[in-house]
Amino acid sequence: MNRRELVTGMLAGTAVASLSSSLLGPAFAASPSAPLLLSVVKRTIEVSGKAASVFGLQGPDGPGLRFRAGDAFNVLLRNETDEATIAHWHGLTPPWANDGVGHAPMPLIAARTDRSFDFPVGGPGTHWMHAHTLQEQLLLAAPLIVADPADDGLDEQEVVILLHDFSFKSPEELLAGLTGNGAGGAMDHGAMGHGSIDMSAGAVGMPMDLNDIEYDAYLANDRTLDDPEVVQVERGGRVRLRIINGATATAFTIDLGELEGRLIAVDGQPVEPIAGQQFPMSMGQRVDIRLQLPADTRSFPVLALREGAPQRTGVILQPTGSDVVKVSSAGTVDGPVLDLALESRLRPLAPLAARPADKTFEMTLNGDMAKYTWSLGLDAPILADIGDRVEVKLTNMSMMAHPMHLHGHHFQVVAIDGQRFTGAVRDTVLIPPMRSVTLAADADNVGQWAFHCHHLYHMATGMMSTFGYRT
Mean pLDDT by 10 residues, the chain (471 residues): 50 43 44 90 97 98 97 98 98 97 94 97 98 98 98 95 98 95 52 33 54 97 98 97 98 97 98 98 98 94 98 97 94 97 98 97 93 86 95 96 98 98 98 98 97 97 95 74
| Angstrom distance (rounded) from CA 21 to CA 14 | 19
Name the H helices within 332-391: 341-345
- For residue 10, the surrounding DSSP H or E stretch is helix 3-12
Q: Buried (b) or exposed (e) across 237-261, using 16+ Cβ within 10 A?
A: bebbbbbbbbbbbbbbbbbbeebeb
Q: Is 373 exposed, middle or buried (0-12, 13-18, 19+ CB in 10 A)?
A: middle
Q: What is the pLDDT of residue 371?
A: 92
> 215 vs 167, 169, 234, 314, CA distance in Å?
5, 9, 35, 16
> 115 vs 86, 144, 173, CA distance in Å?
9, 18, 30
Q: How many CB atoms lie within 10 A of CB 329?
A: 17
Q: What is the pLDDT of residue 397?
A: 96
β-strands 230-233, 312-319 pairing: parallel
What region does 180 belong to: left with phi over 0, alpha with psi -120 to 50, or beta? left
Cis peptide upstream of residue 105 (ω within 30 degrees of 0): yes
Please tell me whether residue 414 adopts helix, strand or coil conformation.
strand
Q: Is 183 exposed, middle or buried (0-12, 13-18, 19+ CB in 10 A)?
A: exposed
| Angstrom distance (rounded) from CA 287 to CA 43 | 28
Please state the domain extents for the chain: 3-149, 217-338, 346-469
* Length of the chain measured in residues: 471
Q: Are 306 and 166 in contact (CB under 8 A)?
A: no
CATH superfamily membership of 346-469: Cupredoxins -  blue copper proteins (2.60.40.420)
CATH superfamily membership of 3-149: Cupredoxins -  blue copper proteins (2.60.40.420)
| Angstrom distance (rounded) from CA 140 to CA 88 | 10
Q: What is the pLDDT of residue 381?
A: 76
**The overall pTM is greater than 0.95:** no
Q: Are 302 and 315 in contact (CB under 8 A)?
A: yes
Phi, psi at 217, each rounded to 5°: -165, 160
Helix axes 3-12, 171-178, angle to 10 degrees: 70
Q: How many CB atoms lie within 10 A of CB 291?
A: 22
Q: 217-338 and 346-469 share one CATH topology?
A: yes
Task: Give the closest residue to 373 by CA, choosing from 434, 457, 431, 451.
Answer: 457
Q: Are 41 and 81 in contact (CB under 8 A)?
A: yes
- Indicate the CATH number for domain 217-338: 2.60.40.420
